[in-house]
Chain A
């Protein structure tokens, strides 16, 4: 009886295979890795594996991935404020910031760190305001 290999195990495996390797070696490992996936018909898990790999990689290297979404590009002061805030709340982590422009937010920012999200967008406030008016 063969036990199905879980995406999490694949991700762990990938991390261990690529740890401390040079770029050329990694390319080789990756092509072999994909071959195995295809042989086992597990290519459908690729998205999931990549996500889990990211998690493992970040955890092992003490990296904190922070996603910032805003309606317009932030100015220098805004950037600094966010960076300061994240550093204060998660001390001792290497912070990896990705920024994204989402016009649908209308204004304000939305910060996402792992499973936590701080929604300070205008859209969110409009929704809240609508609810408050309805109840009152």
Chain B
């Protein structure tokens, strides 16, 4: 029945098609190798412009020299040969963005990798974009709850902040980021996980984990695997940010995880060295700082006139043997608004997340904490700092005065309380309730060994019998005397029950 309609439509389109011939700027391939091509000609090519090879593959202009240009290849370099004609497009590389990207696994050019079919979007965003300016921004004021007690209490992250996750290999950096993504369920935050130069098996595990937790409903995964061309590793974080910017421009909140930027820097170093750019410290080219600063500056909290959206970035850096004074770690530490420092010593001691509370900071997040959290966390940091100072002493002598003993006991419970299993993010109300019990001394009579079990059951108890506490905390967002009394009452009730059991 639709046959005539279809033919009619087709005719209309064919009529509308105009065959025009125009002059194009072209060049010839001189040499190809290691993901880079040198091209003669292409006069008038612009830096970071997209060029097209005869087979339809794309490249990006990186080097402009006197009589040739250096191009980074984004596709298979084996099919390109000397003498091939390269066309300039006059456009900057762009990727498809939009609602349809959510729940998908894509490569650094926005092409699907998950076998769920073509992604049909009408909007494309350039991968490189100038970061929002001063006038369009607003200071960070809303919290982005990670669901990890230690982070939400001591190193809070705000929407629009850039918080670095730094640590050696196998310290749980990715775990922190994944837990944060899982905890965004129902918070109206779109998440983008960018895997740079990672094993595909690890990425597959993360995706299945996110699916299991129901987190893929609001998450896009951008993958530049270790086996893909290195140019894609270089593009991936920019692609992820571009996908996020679409939602930020719509006034939504976005979280982008860059896992990890050390590999991104290494990818850029490889391309730069092959392009014969002069090497600098640790053989990185001179502009690695700009490479990361222009990426992370695109995270922002926009003001109301600009939609009020935000883009939070959680870049990850892997250190070698705990050396934070290497080139890339110092660069990224100075760019970001704070760092979450994870240590392998703590990790093996069983303190997980292996957070070093003393070295981790958040420069802007505290203004984004809810009041209740500020009220319970205020004394926690001090307690822990004093505990660390006294801990060494306590190992020698037993004849300590009562005050010191008390501090040490409180500190031990504090360390225990900040432990948290993977994939079990907590809501902020539960965090406040647990930390309240700790900082106000309600746990001083609970044995340190029993604390994990105590806490687990306490959360269950609050979910079942103690709904009133959670609800009132959710409403007030602060520890008003009424809320505090209620909380005290339920903690006492729970303790009575456990005492009987």
- Does B19 count as interface, using CB distance less than 8 angstroms? yes
* Nearest residue, chain B, Cβ from A132: B17
Nearest B residue (CB) for A51: B40
* Across-interface contacts of B82 in A (CB, < 8 A): 47
A111 → B minimal CB distance (Å): 9
Check if A119 sits within 8 Å of B21, measured CB to CB. yes
With an 8 Å Cβ cutoff, the count of chain A residues facing the other chain is 19
Nearest-neighbour CB distance to chain A for B19, whole angstroms, equals 5
Let me know if B30 and A117 touch, CB within 8 A: no
A136 touches B16 (CB 8 A): yes
Taking CB as reference atom, which chain B residue is nearest A112? B26
Whether B22 sits at the interface, judged by CB under 8 Å, is yes
Interface size on B, residues (CB 8 A): 23
Complex interface residues of chain A between 82 and 136 (CB less than 8 A to chain B): 112, 114-120, 125, 128-129, 132-133, 136
Q: Report if B131 contacts A (CB, 8 A).
A: no
> In the assembled complex, how far is the CB of residue A110 from the closest CB belonging to chain B, in whole angstroms?
9
A117 x B17 contact (CB < 8 A): no
Minimum CB–CB distance for B266 against chain A, Å: 28
Check: A48 CB closer than 8 A to any chain B CB: yes
CB proximity to A under 8 Å, residues B12-32: 13, 16-17, 19, 21-28, 30
CA distance A116 to B42 in the complex (A): 8
Residues on A with beta carbons closer than 8 Å to the beta carbon of B41: 114-115
A42 CB-CB contact with B under 8 Å = no
Q: Is B67 an interface residue (CB 8 A)?
A: yes
**Does the CB pair B16–A119 fall under 8 Å?**
no
| Residue in contact with A115 in the complex, picked from B19, B21, B42, CB distance below 8 Å | B42
Q: Which residue of A lies closest to B16 (CB)?
A: A136
Q: Which residues of A contact B16 (CB under 8 A)?
A: 132, 136
Q: Which residue of A lies closest to B18 (CB)?
A: A132
Residue from the list A8, A125, A136 in contact with B67, Cβ < 8 A: A8
Q: Which of A115, A129, A132 contacts B27 (CB 8 A)?
A: A115
B19 — nearest CB in chain A belongs to which residue? A125
- Residue of A114, A119, A125 touching B24 (CB-CB under 8 A): A119
A residues engaging B (CB < 8 A)? 8, 47-48, 51-52, 112, 114-120, 125, 128-129, 132-133, 136
Can you list 28 A-B pairs with a CB-CB distance of less than 8 A?
A8-B66, A8-B67, A48-B40, A51-B28, A51-B40, A52-B67, A112-B85, A115-B25, A115-B26, A115-B27, A115-B41, A115-B44, A116-B23, A117-B23, A117-B25, A117-B85, A118-B21, A118-B22, A120-B21, A125-B19, A128-B17, A129-B17, A132-B13, A132-B16, A132-B17, A133-B13, A133-B17, A136-B13
Known interface pairs A117-B25, A118-B21; 9 further A-B residue pairs with C-beta atoms within 8 A, sorted by A's residue number? A8-B66, A48-B30, A115-B26, A115-B42, A119-B24, A128-B17, A129-B17, A129-B19, A136-B13
* For the complex of A and B, 5 pairs with smallest distance between CB atoms: A117-B26, A120-B21, A115-B41, A115-B43, A136-B13
